[in-house]
Amino acid sequence: MIDTQRLKKIKRRLGIVPDDTKEDDLLSDLVDDAESYFKTLTGSAEIGSKYNFMIENVVYKLYGRKGSEGVTSETVDGYSVTYQDWDNLFKPYMAILNKDFGLDGSQRQKGKVTFL
């Protein structure tokens, strides 16, 4: 379950009145999805608090897609909509994630050498 402070922050950024609880379950689901994707992407079991802004920004993207999750491109009277794939949700943060988790292979594993 999403903590109260985080939920208030997300609601504030999305323009949802704090007392409105109709979207709470949906927002919790979106946070869970974003966290699961982050863990799968990075291979980490826990998410450090310094990555909360990434999770929240992905939640904003997912919330904005509500009702049209499958849209890849749509144009109506000059108004165009294209959504990113799951693979691209964390794309703006890949430089940070590569640095911290070595997703691009930049981090080498420490090992040891034994001479006989």
Residues 107, 69: Cα–Cα separation, whole Å: 35
pLDDT of the residue at 19: 94
Q: How far is CA 96 from CA 1, 14, 47, in A?
A: 26, 25, 14
CB of 42 within 8 A of CB of 98? Answer: no
Give the per-residue pLDDT at 108: 60
pLDDT of residue 37 exceeding 70, the answer is: yes
Give dist(CA 17, CA 15) in Å, integer: 6
Question: How many residues are given for the chain?
Answer: 116
Give the C-alpha separation, 45 to 18, whole Å: 31
Domains of the chain: which residue ranges?
A: 4-101
The answer, yes or no, to whether residue 68 has pLDDT greater than 70, is: no
Provide the pLDDT for residue 27: 96
pLDDT in tens, 69-111: 555 566 677 777 665 566 688 999 999 999 999 988 776 666 6
